[in-house]
Amino acid sequence: MKTLRNFVLILVLAIVGNQWSQACTSFIISGKATSDGRPILFKNRDTGTLSNITVLKQGEKYRYAGIANAKDTTAKEIWAGHNETGFAIMNTAAYNLNEKDEKLELEGVLMRRALEVCATLEDFEHLLDTLPRPLCVDANFGVIDAHGGCAYYETGNQGYVKFDANDPAVAPEGYLLRTNHGLSGDRKRDQGVERFYAITYFMKHTHRPFKAEKLITSAPRHLRHGLTGVDLWSNLPLSKEDTTWVNFRDFIPRYITSSCLLVQGVKPGEPGSYTIGWTIIGYPLTCVTVPVVITPSGHLPKVIQADEKGVSWLTTQSFRLKAQIFSLPKGSDRDYINLAKLINQEGSGIMQQLKPLEDLIIAKGQKAIDRMRKDGTTTDLDNYYEWVDEFLHKKFPQKNSTEL
């Protein structure tokens, strides 16, 4: 009873502090549809709270790692993450599961609580069943566990509807998608439709079976508009000096995209602690992916965690590069980008320059992960995290660099 009272108190505090709407693009994939049999969940986070950090915390029952708002170092809210049992969770705002005037958004508090106490989909269902009503949420929660569980829970104030990605009748191709509406809600109030079309196209045209590393590097950087079909890769400027302004509204990555997480679960029989959180803690078009594993040491790269100011070094650097793309001097600067600065025919765009850095980070990280999966050792991962810090401080484009 004390735990329940504490949870309710946290909900009340979050109502005061949460002022931004959540949007986001997401998918979940059953292990039946992945190249290695491990389930996947993915979230591209859109929010007014642009600066994010990665946290690693000890919860009431389990340690968990996830994405939090910068300066929320106590992790009052988690916006996507996984715990040491292999349970993982993320959300997208639904906007059509409750009445129009119900605006409370406490999904981050609920997800933090789930990571603390849940190990399975059944545990999460029990949590939803036993929390006091109203739940103060309007969300699609994507969840996977170490037993192959993979489902969305379209959740409103009074209850939820489950969509199981392992059920061929529900997910004939082994995956499900959500942006900002629930399929069980009032479909007249659907939101995020343009991005739903975009992620539908992306998944349909992605090589099967699905691979985690391919998805995390391509899905949050998909530059084909879901509604208009405009593909920004199809007519590239010649060089970074060729200023080319293009409309950049309602693509999967948007101005308000703050971070991205793809959680790669485990195969049945593997320890849940082998779950990987492939993390982009910054603007996806100007940042790099770093894998996060909950090791016994509790180490993570410092560049993705909060510094003495409560912000992530990598996020700060990615936003500096982002400002070069969204640099329209007047007008609706958030709706237009200088495409030449991002990608161009000579390969000198920001995203193109970051790619070899990211490729090396992923390749070295995969070696450490493979070692862990082979013999259970995590020493290589701890050493790898130290290398990531050193490598990024040395190689990530600096403020005075002439390369960008």
Listing DSSP states for 314-362 in one string gives HHHHHHHHHHHHS--SSS-GGGEEEHHHH--TTS-SHHHHHHHHHHHHH
pLDDT digits (tens, 9 = 90+) for 335-385: 999 999 999 999 999 999 999 999 999 999 999 999 999 999 999 999 999
187 part of a folded domain: yes
Q: Has residue 2 been placed in a domain?
A: no
Q: Which amino acid is at 220?
A: P
Interval 263-310: pLDDT, tens: 999 998 999 999 999 999 999 999 999 999 999 999 999 999 999 999
In this prediction, residue 12 has a pLDDT band, given cuts at 50, 70 and 90, of: very low
Domain that holds residue 260: 22-395
User: How many domains does the chain divide into?
Assistant: 1
Q: Determine, yes or no, domain membership for 283.
A: yes
Residue 258 located in a structural domain: yes
pLDDT at 166 over 90: yes
Q: Tell me, yes or no, whether 3 lies in a domain.
A: no
Q: Does residue 125 sit within a domain? A: yes
When pLDDT is cut at 50, 70 and 90, the band that residue 102 belongs to is: low
Q: What CATH number is associated with residue 37?
A: 3.60.60.10
Q: Which of 149, 126, 152, 127 is nearest to 43 (CA)?
A: 152
- 85 φ, ψ (degrees, to nearest 5): -90, -10
**Percent residues over pLDDT 70 in the chain:** 92
Sign for the CA dihedral angle at 365, 367, 370, 375 comes to negative
Whether residue 9 is contained in a domain is answered as: no
Which residues lie closer than 8 Å to 269 by C-beta, 6 or more apart? Answer: none
- Cα dist from 364 to 19, 43, 263, 347, whole Å: 39, 24, 18, 24
- Would you say residue 104 has pLDDT above 90? no
In whole numbers, what is the pLDDT of the chain averaged over residues? 93
401 within domain boundaries? no
Per-residue pLDDT, averaged over 210-218, amounts to 98
How far is residue 126 CA from its own chain's centroid? 25
